[in-house]
Amino acid sequence: MPDALLIGPYRPDDVLAWEPDGPRTARQFLSDVAQLAESLPDRPTVLNLATSRYEFLVGFAAAILRCQLTLLPQSRAPQTLRRIAGDYPDSYGLADRDETIEGIESVSIQLRGGQAPWPGEIPRVPLNQVVAVAFTSGSTGQPMPNMKTWGALTAVAHATGSRLGIKGGDRAAVVATVPHQHMFGLEASVMLPIMHGLVMHAGRPLFPADIRSVLADLTGQRILVTTPLHLRACVTEGVRFPPVALILSATAPLSHSLAKEAERHFHTEVHEIFGFAEAGSVAERRTIDGDRWRPLDGVRVVQDQTSWMVHAEYLPAPVPVPDRITVDAQGMFVIHGREADQVNVAGHRASLGELNQKLLEIDGVQDGVFFMPEEGADLVTRLMAFVVAPGKTSEEIQRALRTHIDPVFMPRPLICLSSLPRNATGKLSRESVSELARQWLEGQGHGA
């Protein structure tokens, strides 16, 4: 049966991860994994909630060696965890030291440290072994589980690294603002570094000053794995950053203007990954080079009778692309947004995603989203917009927006807020925006 190594090209004393109290070598990692694997309960599934990226990886690897399936919740909300535990009643939780997970039998990750011998052989994992379950974000309905094999995770890591020109000898350090339980976070901030012999930073800095501090603590080349939300904050606040070799962004569309500003601000290239939980990472582009996405090596996007499908050897079956796309003769494609994002106003059609991009390109707008309430007797069925733009009035933003979009799509009302209810990966669920709209409409006397 074909298999692959648990970690990539490390020598015993190469730094594999960087924790707040210092480095963790490849030798120490394999020792930590072996010790934890011995202490895990004999259960088929595990909910890994470790906040340290390193401890998460140790737990993930230990579970793999015990042939246990790691569940990757799309959020840490108690109701989400209870739902997953209900769907997988024989599961247990992995938590930080001295912490518990309410309503779920949990084991604290307590690593012993100390030096350990280099094993005679690095563990190997069958490519067809299912090692994780990634859940959809639930932004358009009930979250659904998606099985991930070791072969799929390693193939995506190798293809992404090859596309980005990453070489193990570079020993670059990967810093990420995205959670490691998220599919993009797992692929880009965990699997990418360990498959290429890079250094994985264990923390998750969120604010620009924290990101700068973490980057400054590292030596050598640095790779930043992040989201448009974090990039916009970094550019807006004007914090000066140490040199970064590469920025990799995903989880939401990145506008050309923000990518250009980020490249100038960080003195580097900004690349994007397009993917979704069902297929993982699918394609890459350097945002300022244009709208076309180039599939990763080994990935093809093929049209069948009803939709475009993602094909790859590591996928058990072709996976439908959730967005509307057009594909050229070279296999590259342009994304036009999801069918559910299409709105029809007075016979004119537009994508909410495209309208959001126009809104975000307005000077002074830090965040924003268009919303079309559901039709109903008690709702005002016209486009609304929620905007974060300190120092700007809704009238000023409306005036600027009129020069970018068709008048029929002008949001009425446009409501200024201090922040939007984005989740840990920077996504906005329809439910959360709908709740904003409901609260505003109630406040205006329109009813629920």
Regarding whether 403 and 271 lie in a shared domain, the answer is no
Please indicate, yes or no, whether residues 235 and 113 belong to a single structural domain of this protein.
Answer: yes
Q: Let me know whether 316 and 378 are in one domain.
A: no
Q: What pLDDT, on a 0 to 100 scale, did the predictor assign at position 379?
A: 44
Confidence of residue 121 (pLDDT cuts 50, 70, 90): confident
- Do residues 203 and 53 make contact, with C-beta atoms less than 8 angstroms apart? yes
Measured CA to CA, the distance from residue 361 to residue 341 in angstroms comes to: 19
Give me the residue label for tokens 């084991």. 107
C-alpha–C-alpha distance, residues 36 and 152, integer Å: 25
Minimum mean pLDDT range among 105-109, 195-199, 213-217: 105-109
Q: Are residues 368 and 324 in the same domain?
A: no
Last residue of a domain, one of 336, 364, 391: 336
Which of the residue ranges 3-7, 135-139, 431-435 has the most confident prediction, judged by mean pLDDT?
A: 3-7
CB 389 within 8 A of CB 368: yes
Helix (H) or strand (E) holding 435: helix 430-443
pLDDT of residue 378: 44
One-letter amino acid of 176:
A
Query: Once rounded to an integer, what is the mean pLDDT over residues 45-70?
Result: 96
Give dist(CA 122, CA 191) in Å, integer: 16
Residues 311 and 355 in one domain: no
- Token look-up 């992404």 returns 160
Q: Judge whether 253 lies within some domain.
A: yes
Q: Give residue 52's pLDDT band: very low, low, confident or very high (50, 70, 90).
A: very high
Assess whether 232 and 181 both reside in one domain.
Answer: yes
Q: State which of 305, 336, 367 marks the end of a domain.
A: 336
pLDDT of residue 82: 81
Predicted local confidence at residue 140, as pLDDT: 47
And the tokens for 140? Answer: 């358009």
Looking at the structure, do residues 312 and 330 belong to the same domain, yes or no?
Answer: yes
> What is the predicted pLDDT for the residue at 448?
44
The chain-wide mean pLDDT, for the chain, equals 88
Q: Which residue has the higher pLDDT, 139 or 347?
A: 347
Domain for residue 308, yes or no? yes
Q: Is the peptide bond before 413 cis (omega within 30 degrees of 0)?
A: yes
pLDDT per residue over 231-265, tens digit each? 988 998 888 899 999 999 998 888 888 999 999 99
Question: Does 448 reside within a domain?
Answer: no
Predicted local confidence at residue 137, as pLDDT = 59
CATH number of the structural domain spanning residue 416: 3.30.300.30
* Higher per-residue pLDDT: 305 or 403: 403
C-alpha torsion angle, residues 185, 190, 193, 198 (rounded to 10): 120
Q: What is the pLDDT of residues 409-442, one digit of tens each?
A: 899 889 999 888 887 777 777 888 888 888 887 7
In DSSP notation, 223-269 reads: EEEE-HHHHHHHHHHT------SEEEE-SS---HHHHHHHHHHHTS-
Q: Predicted confidence band at 381 (pLDDT cuts at 50, 70, 90)?
A: low
Cβ atoms of 16 and 32 within 8 Å: the answer is no
What digits encode the pLDDT tens for the residues 273-291? 999 989 999 999 999 999 9
Q: Mean pLDDT: which of 79-83, 195-199, 216-220 is highest?
A: 195-199
Q: Given a cut of 60, is residue 212 above it in pLDDT?
A: yes
Name beta bridge partners: 48: 94
The two structure tokens encoding residue 380 = 């005002």
Query: Percentage of residues in the chain with pLDDT exceeding 90?
Result: 55
Q: Is the pLDDT of residue 109 over 60?
A: yes
- Asked if 243 and 224 count as a contact pair (C-beta separation under 8 A), the reply is no
Residue 5: CB partners within 8 Å, gap ≥ 6? 122, 123, 124, 125
User: According to the model, what pLDDT value does residue 347 have?
Assistant: 64
Lowest mean pLDDT among 155-169, 210-224, 345-359: 345-359
Q: Which of 312, 336, 360 is the last residue of a domain?
A: 336
Give the span between the Cα atoms of 46 and 72, in whole angstroms. Answer: 9
pLDDT band at 380 (very low <50, low <70, confident <90, very high): very low
pLDDT at position 55 over 60? yes
Residue 101 CA to residue 108 CA, distance in Å, equals 10
HSE, CB side, 13 Å, CA atoms: give it for residue 196.
32
| 429 shares its domain with 307 | no
Q: Residue 165 — very low, low, confident or very high, per pLDDT cuts 50/70/90?
A: very high
411, 383 contact by CB (below 8 A): yes
Between CA 189 and CA 321 the distance in angstroms is 24
Inform me whether the pLDDT recorded for 50 exceeds 50. yes
| 327 and 404 fall within a common domain | no
- Together in a domain, 293 and 429: no
Q: Which of 42-51, 61-70, 146-155, 407-416 has the lowest mean pLDDT?
A: 407-416
Q: By residue range, what is the domain housing residue 172?
A: 3-336
For residue 112, pLDDT beyond 80: no
CB 63 within 8 A of CB 48: yes
pLDDT in tens, 35-49: 999 999 999 999 999
Residue 445 is predicted with a pLDDT of 61
Residues 324 and 207 in one domain: yes
Q: What angle do CA 15, 57, 161 make, to 5 degrees?
A: 65
CATH number at residue 241: 3.40.50.12780
Is residue 341 a part of any domain in this protein? no
CA distance 255 to 363: 13
Pair 319, 432 in one domain: no
Are 325 and 308 in contact, with CB atoms under 8 Å apart?
A: yes
Q: How many structural domains compose the chain?
A: 2
